[in-house]
Amino acid sequence: MELSELVAHLQQQAAAQKLRLHEKNVYRILSALLATSDFWQLIDYADVPVPTGVLIVRELEQQGYVTIDSENGIFLTDQGRELVEKFHLVAPVNAHCPACEGRGYAYWLDKEFYRRFIEIAKDRPKPLRNYDQASVTPETTVARVQMLKHLGDLHQKEIIVLGAEDDLTGLAIAMTRLARRVLILDIDDRLIEFDRTIIAELGLTNAEAHVFDLRQPLPDEWVGAFDVFITDPPETHSAFRAFVARGIATLRGEGYSGYFGLTLRDASIFRWQEFQRILLNDLGVVVTDIIRNFNHYMNWPYHSETLAARIAPVKQPPRTIWYRSFWYRIETLPGFTRWNEPIQTDALYLDEEGSTT
Amino acid sequence: MELSELVAHLQQQAAAQKLRLHEKNVYRILSALLATSDFWQLIDYADVPVPTGVLIVRELEQQGYVTIDSENGIFLTDQGRELVEKFHLVAPVNAHCPACEGRGYAYWLDKEFYRRFIEIAKDRPKPLRNYDQASVTPETTVARVQMLKHLGDLHQKEIIVLGAEDDLTGLAIAMTRLARRVLILDIDDRLIEFDRTIIAELGLTNAEAHVFDLRQPLPDEWVGAFDVFITDPPETHSAFRAFVARGIATLRGEGYSGYFGLTLRDASIFRWQEFQRILLNDLGVVVTDIIRNFNHYMNWPYHSETLAARIAPVKQPPRTIWYRSFWYRIETLPGFTRWNEPIQTDALYLDEEGSTT
């Protein structure tokens, strides 16, 4: 079977599951197999959603290019190695800056702050499955704060954090004591309680935390009231509206900024194009930064209950960090839209491409 | 005068010059004035096109917020300092990773290659004004190569470099001996001759360099023939077509990638939104990376002849690097467009926002 045939065949199967892929996704999986036999690292290297990765790996097995050992991982066969050579594929190379983990902003620039944040974060509530929680590493959270500082989005700014406070981004911002106001919203009362306790203990007068369900419209007093928003949505269309579009609605006017993560583990690059069109065409903003794999997520305790674990061709849980997302920054421009409608769905976290909730 | 009045007044004047600005641009200039009195550094911090920066600085002078000393620079007056305090503005903070200059890819990861590139680059032709040339630092060029390597866009790939070979990006790629093919195009025969000499001296069999004017359509044999394109266009709409849209036309199919620089020194963030809409809507690609200030440009010998120098409120030439651009990466997706029409203009380099040619 030629690779073009294999890709065409895969695309048919993908379409039946409402998934999308192209030949480069297949090449990338094959390249990654030169570096790892671990399914989760494979997904990390290949930048495809888990269900798409499963589909490709299963088809490669079907065609005799890989063997799957559910205990030990995924391995190229001799036939697979021939295919890899035919297409001149080589193992992925890591050329990210080791000093900043490739983010461009170093978490260690303010060591004192980094250490204080880690001390606070050690007692944070454990991630919960029903809110799709998975915390980023402390290095990620601190690098987010550094980036805000670098871009003039921290000092004396009014900042709203919409959900994803399991990352403690709102708390970290408050801890700098540099923002004029930090408003932290999350649906999880454990996180809000945690933040409130620390805010009280540290005597942070500029920060407040509220339980809030982002499917609901924001109250008027928060619309058009902030300099900066920060969020980290699940990658469904409804969540993108609930988190990002609502974030944009909070901004004060033209030239104000927002930050959010988008992953390729629970959404395809095809979906990203849809999101980018929504940002540019419907919401009227401009994208100023997209930083690859800025956000590193610590493995979550409920992994074994996820769809990802159930459909994975191996039984091994992830042994290293494999879930990453890119960090977007946008700015509002004339004609931007303040969208703030209610969302009538329970399926905020899962769709055909998502699997890690 | 209230700041909102000042902004409205500035916007009127800007419109008369076909420039665009918003209040955050004014805030950013004021913040930058807390860190520097150098006009060129001011533009670097403020991320506005030179003509817009001039407009804002002149208006701030008019209103008594700054004084301009054409020999020594631009300084906040007492009234200016009051304004800055009223808006709680602080000086810009640098939190970029010092190890990689904020790029996320470190030029020093392969020291041997970095050194060899510098040795080759030391004899390169001097930048010419009539082709809008300004070379990036060797660190920038080498970091571009690292990024290609990291993203699987180098090993055994067929790569086309469309212009901007004063950066020697094509030559650097050829020097890795990792690409299957490198095709270098530039309008400047001095650069093509230089590349050809080095290619012959080093015995690089995978690289070729041709004089080519990108206002012309590419020959059919180069359309749909490459895995990766790289370019660094001037920021006019016609140059964006000539360099970037034509780059996309060279790509083999879906999932293939292109790299290009965009600056905020010769184009506004408003223009960027137009470019992003062209990428998403007209050309059908997706943006995968936008890396802030990845490209650092060495000051060019013809500075004093440029419009930027003529309209600058100071006589001092730049003393440090002030011209930077962001590095974009895109990928093609289903339905992407291969645009390859002739361009009938001489004004490839200059428009109302551009001034550094």
Let me know if residue A352 belongs to a domain: no
Q: Which amino acid does the sequence have at B103?
A: R
The residue in chain B having the minimum alpha-carbon distance to the alpha carbon of residue A90 is: B155
pLDDT digits (tens, 9 = 90+) for B119-157: 999 999 998 888 888 899 999 999 999 999 999 999 999
Let me know if residue B250 belongs to a domain: yes
The Cα-based distances of B226 to B183, B204, B253 in angstroms read 9, 19, 9
The residue in chain B having the minimum alpha-carbon distance to the alpha carbon of residue A158 is: B88
Taking 70 as the threshold, does the pLDDT of residue A106 lie above it?
A: yes
Q: Are B273 and A253 inside 8 Å of each other by CB?
A: no
- Clarify whether residues A204 and A325 are in a common domain: yes
Quick one: pLDDT at residue B229?
A: 98
Locate B231 and state its tokens: 């370019």
Q: How many structural domains compose chain A?
A: 2
Q: Which helix (DSSP H) or strand (DSSP E) does residue B14 occupy?
A: helix B3-16
Let me know if residue B338 belongs to a domain: no
- Clarify whether residues A68 and A115 are in a common domain: no
Taking 80 as the threshold, does the pLDDT of residue B349 lie above it?
A: no
Quick one: pLDDT at residue B132?
A: 83
Q: Are A28 and B152 inside 8 Å of each other by CB?
A: yes
pLDDT digits (tens, 9 = 90+) for A126-183: 988 888 888 999 999 999 999 999 999 999 999 999 999 999 999 999 999 999 999 9
pLDDT confidence of B350, banded at 50, 70, 90? confident
Residue B220 CB partners (closer than 8 Å, separation 6+): none
* d(C-alpha A77, C-alpha A57), whole Å: 12
- Clarify whether residues A136 and A244 are in a common domain: yes
Return the CATH number at A311.
3.40.50.150
- Clarify whether residues B282 and B145 are in a common domain: yes
Counting one residue from chain A and one from chain B, the pairs whose CB atoms sit within 8 A come to 178
Let me know if residue B345 belongs to a domain: no
Taking 90 as the threshold, does the pLDDT of residue A119 lie above it?
A: yes
pLDDT digits (tens, 9 = 90+) for B180-195: 999 999 999 999 999 9
- Residue A128 C-alpha, separation from nearest chain B C-alpha, in angstroms: 30
Locate A355 and state its tokens: 């699997």
Lowest-pLDDT choice from A120-134, A218-232, B285-299, B311-325:
A120-134
Return the CATH number at A15.
1.10.10.10
Taking 90 as the threshold, does the pLDDT of residue A347 lie above it?
A: no
Residue with tokens 């929680």: A133
Give B94's contacts in chain A (Cβ within 8 Å).
150
- Residue A13 C-alpha, separation from nearest chain B C-alpha, in angstroms: 17
Packing angle of the helix pair A23-33, A39-46 (nearest 10 deg): 130
pLDDT digits (tens, 9 = 90+) for B12-57: 999 999 999 999 999 999 999 999 999 999 999 999 999 999 999 9
* d(C-alpha B125, C-alpha A173), whole Å: 48
pLDDT confidence of A239, banded at 50, 70, 90? very high
Entry pTM = 0.97
Give B26's contacts in chain A (Cβ within 8 Å).
none
Of A98, A149, A334, the CB nearest to B93: A149
Quick one: pLDDT at residue A1?
A: 67
Of A90, A155, A290, the CB nearest to B287: A290
Let me know if residue B350 belongs to a domain: no
* d(C-alpha B81, C-alpha B102), whole Å: 30
For the residues A35-44, what does the mean pLDDT come to? 97
- Clarify whether residues B64 and B185 are in a common domain: no
* d(C-alpha B15, C-alpha B42), whole Å: 22
Of A22, A23, A273, the CB nearest to B280: A273
- Clarify whether residues A64 and A116 are in a common domain: no
- Clarify whether residues B52 and B10 are in a common domain: yes
Of A99, A146, A255, the CB nearest to B22: A255
Of A104, A156, A290, the CB nearest to B102: A104
Domain limits for position A138? 111-332
In our burial notation (b when 16+ CB lie closer than 10 A, e otherwise), range B104-128 reads: bbbbebbeebbeebeebbeebeebb
CA torsion sign for B124, B125, B129, B130 is negative
∠ CA B325-B91-A231, nearest 5°, is: 65
- Clarify whether residues B123 and B254 are in a common domain: yes
Give A147's contacts in chain B (Cβ within 8 Å).
95
Quick one: pLDDT at residue B352?
A: 87
- Clarify whether residues A75 and A149 are in a common domain: no
Let me know if residue B355 belongs to a domain: no
What would the DSSP string read from start to end of B246-272? HHHHTB-STT-EEEEEEESSSS-HHHH
Let me know if residue A340 belongs to a domain: no
- Clarify whether residues A174 and A59 are in a common domain: no
Q: Are B292 and A288 inside 8 Å of each other by CB?
A: yes
Q: Are A23 and B254 inside 8 Å of each other by CB?
A: yes
- Clarify whether residues B175 and B228 are in a common domain: yes
pLDDT confidence of B1, banded at 50, 70, 90? low
- Clarify whether residues A216 and A165 are in a common domain: yes
Let me know if residue B213 belongs to a domain: yes
